[in-house]
Amino acid sequence: MTAYIATAAGAVFLTVIVGMIIPEGKLNKSINFVLRIACILILISPVFNIFKIELPEADGGIVDYEYICDVFSESQSSQLEKMIAEELGVQCSCEVEIIYEDGSFKENGVTVLTYNVESGVIENIQSYLKELGYININVNEKTA
């Protein structure tokens, strides 16, 4: 409340001082009009605060980043499964972990589960994922 009173008093004081300094003429009328409008807006600013709408701040606000990470992860995982099948001819199950950190979505790691593959395929998958820029790569083989 004291900040509001100080701001209002300062605006009125500034308007009076500038009104005395500016020479008479067309410019004086325009400047006085603008300063008076500014004073009126400052004086009625508490009325604007009554209608102020605030978004909830619980757990990151109105955006559910966990849900977005899950959807993004599912999309990335299915695309990666298709790419591995096309490029390496291996059927697998992929899970890309997506996190929200420092205001952006980042890939935190990838887990690939292959089924009954030949020797050397796991290394090929790991090198392929490294070429794609994935980090924290975990490739496992699942037997029947």
> Which pLDDT band holds residue 144 (cuts at 50, 70, 90)?
low
Digit-coded pLDDT (tens) for 73-129: 899 899 989 988 888 888 888 898 988 888 788 888 899 888 877 778 888 888 888
Residues 6+ apart with CB under 8 A from 49: none
Digit-coded pLDDT (tens) for 30-83: 888 888 898 888 888 888 777 766 655 555 556 778 888 889 889 989 998 998
Residue 99 has what pLDDT? 87
Residue 116 has what pLDDT? 72
17 CB-contact burial (10 Å; exposed 0-12 / middle 13-18 / buried 19+): exposed
> For 65-142, CATH number?
3.30.300.30
Mean pLDDT of the chain: 83
Torsion, CA 87, CA 124, CA 111, CA 116, rounded to 10: 90
> Over 60: is that where the pLDDT of 132 sits?
yes
Residue with tokens 């606000």: 61
Residue 53 has what pLDDT? 62
7 within 8 A of 42, measured Cβ to Cβ: yes
Residue 126 has what pLDDT? 87
Residue 57 has what pLDDT? 52
Residue 142 has what pLDDT? 75
Q: Of 83, 79, 136, 89, whose CA–CA distance to 117 is shortest?
A: 89
DSSP state of 143: -
18 within 8 A of 38, measured Cβ to Cβ: no
Helices marked H in the chain — which ranges? 2-21, 26-43, 45-50, 65-88, 121-132
93 within 8 A of 73, measured Cβ to Cβ: no
110 within 8 A of 134, measured Cβ to Cβ: yes
pTM as predicted: 0.54
Q: How far apart are CA 64 and CA 83, in angstroms?
A: 29
Residue 119 has what pLDDT? 74
Residue 121 has what pLDDT? 84
